[in-house]
Amino acid sequence: MWATIIVFASVFVGILGGMFVVPDTIVADIDSISTLMLGFLLFSVGIDIGSNKDALSDIKSKGKMVVTIVASVILGSIAGGLFISYLYHVSTNTSLAITAGYGWYSISAILLKDLASAEVGAIAFLTNVFREVLAFIFIPIMAAKFSHESAIPPAGATAMDTCLPLISRVTTPDVAIVSFLCGVILSSLVPVMVPFFYAL
Amino acid sequence: MWKIILFLCTGIAIGLFFNLNDRAKKFNSNLQLLGLVLLLGSMGISIGANPKIMSNLSTIGFQSFLYALASVVFSTIIGLFLIKIVKRGDA
């Protein structure tokens, strides 16, 4: 639970800082710094994973779990897209394309701005930003209340990068490997699934 | 994306080929939390400093939030269900 609080506080303080304190000229620099920071963070997570040698040798037995979680995210995103399509009377293909971003907001927004419109692109961007934020709330709760593996589906494609440090921290290096593999597969699927669903 | 994989794989290689002691592992773990806080803070700054995102949050933002919530909740529920089945099959 404390991880959720730290996560919330970091984002909240950041938003306030972005609104009132940090000058615009520095914000662009922060974006480029954060990319570098993500690199170092993943380097640190990599050391964590590599240190657990038994887990790496065990990777074949994890294939089933990886496929299970990837399928859960794909099916869950379809269900979510259909539900909101019904609620808001948005065309089904647009809805399914928006939720097929799996949390990877940059690529899904660019794709849908190009395929549909700037508004759909903006919705795709925000949806997948919120998805990442919600994942940060769900992950520690799922890991603590249910199973370690159940902390991965909320993360979607971000299970390989932005959510991986958190998953790694609240679960075990074993589960972090499953998380990374799920994220890699889901991220690879985003540029395929978004145009596929939009073309339906 | 490839940069990300390169960083991660470099870390994995170091973890694999060097036997880190517990002190080094704990230091690495604390470094991770610090990086997480800084990264989330910078994400917040990008959101807060972008007037386009902030002013539209109430309109398309709410719809986007529902999209995100529905996807995350359904993925989590289906995940809970399927993971339980797979684990039971292995046991």
CB-based contact B8 A42, cutoff 8 Å: yes
Do B28 and B69 share a domain, yes or no?
Answer: no
Do B5 and B24 share a domain, yes or no?
Answer: yes
Do B58 and B77 share a domain, yes or no?
Answer: yes
Pair of tokens at residue B44: 């917040």
Do B37 and B77 share a domain, yes or no?
Answer: no
CB-based contact B48 A150, cutoff 8 Å: no
Min distance A15 CA to chain B CA atoms (Å): 4
pLDDT lower than 50: segments of chain B:
1
Domain that holds residue B87: 51-91
Residue A180 CA to residue A65 CA, distance in Å, equals 12
Do B38 and B70 share a domain, yes or no?
Answer: no
Angle at A98 between CA A95 and CA A102, to 5 degrees: 130
| B13/A contact by beta carbon, under 8 A | yes
CB-based contact B65 A130, cutoff 8 Å: yes
Whole-number pLDDT of residue A154: 96
For A80-131, write each residue's pLDDT tens digit: 999 999 998 889 999 999 999 999 876 777 778 777 776 787 788 889 889 9
Do B42 and B1 share a domain, yes or no?
Answer: yes
pLDDT lower than 70: segments of chain A:
1-4, 7-8, 31, 34-35, 52-60, 106, 118
DSSP A30-84: HHHHHHHHHHHHHHHHHHHHHH-HHHHHTGGGGHHHHHHHHHHHHHHHHHHHHHH
- Residue A67 has a CB neighbour count (10 Å cut-off) of 15
Whole-number pLDDT of residue A170: 94
pTM for this structure? Answer: 0.71
For B42-56, write each residue's pLDDT tens digit: 767 877 777 876 777
Nearest to B57 by CA among A148, A196, A15, A50: A15
**Domain spans of chain A?**
55-198
| B70/A contact by beta carbon, under 8 A | yes
Do B89 and B60 share a domain, yes or no?
Answer: yes
Whole-number pLDDT of residue B43: 67
CB-based contact A14 B40, cutoff 8 Å: yes
Among the partner-chain residues A27, A68, A161, the one whose CB lies closest to the CB of B45 is A27
- Residue B22 has a CB neighbour count (10 Å cut-off) of 7
Whole-number pLDDT of residue A155: 95
Whole-number pLDDT of residue A56: 57
Do B30 and B68 share a domain, yes or no?
Answer: no
Do B63 and B36 share a domain, yes or no?
Answer: no
Do B6 and B42 share a domain, yes or no?
Answer: yes
Among the partner-chain residues A51, A134, A136, the one whose CB lies closest to the CB of B15 is A51
Q: Is the ipTM of this complex over 0.90?
A: no
Do B30 and B65 share a domain, yes or no?
Answer: no
Whole-number pLDDT of residue A82: 96
Q: Provide, as residue numbers in chain A, all residues whose Cβ is less than 8 Å from the Cβ of B75.
A: 72-73, 75-77, 80, 153-154, 156
B30, B62, B71, B86: best mutation site toward chain A, by most A Cβ within 10 Å? B71
Whole-number pLDDT of residue A69: 96
- A-B contacts (CB, under 8 Å): 286
Min distance B58 CA to chain A CA atoms (Å): 11
Chain A residue closest in CA terms to B34: A41
Do B1 and B43 share a domain, yes or no?
Answer: yes
CB-based contact B74 A152, cutoff 8 Å: no
Total tally of structural domains belonging to chain B: 2
